[in-house]
Amino acid sequence: MSGVLRVDWPACRARGVCHELLPEVVDLDEWGYPLVRDDVPDELVTAARTAVTSCPQLALRLVARE
Ligand code: SF4
């Protein structure tokens, strides 16, 4: 199942782990906050789940595409 990454902005602390683990989908802005460029394709769902569980702030969620 492909999906979409959502960021809980009040929780995010711009630590960049999501970008390190999923550079194909997540860029960082100049302050280190994530810029989610694209939906998560099927082949990157496992990496996206790892990014979700690795975020030190638990500020990432992977949701089904609407
Ligand atoms: S890993 Fe979590 S806290 Fe760090 S930039 Fe990504 S969403 Fe924000």
Expressed as residue numbers, the domain containing 35 is 3-64
Closest atom of ligand 1 to 11 CA is: 3
Give the pLDDT score at 15.
Answer: 87
Work out the mean pLDDT of the chain and round it to a whole number.
95
CATH number at residue 34: 3.30.70.20
Q: Whose CA is nearest to atom 4 of ligand 1?
A: 15
DSSP calls for 25-49: TEEE-TTS-EEE-S-B-GGGHHHHH
Closest atom of ligand 1 to 60 CA is: 7
What is the average per-residue pLDDT within 38-57? 96
Total domains in the fold of the chain = 1
What is the average per-residue pLDDT within 21-45? 96
Query: Coil, helix or strand for 60?
Result: strand
Q: Whose CA is nearest to atom 6 of ligand 1?
A: 18
Task: Indicate the pTM of the whole model.
Answer: 0.92
Give the pLDDT score at 1.
Answer: 65
- Whether the predicted pLDDT of 42 surpasses 80: yes
Dist CA 64 CA 4 (whole Å): 6
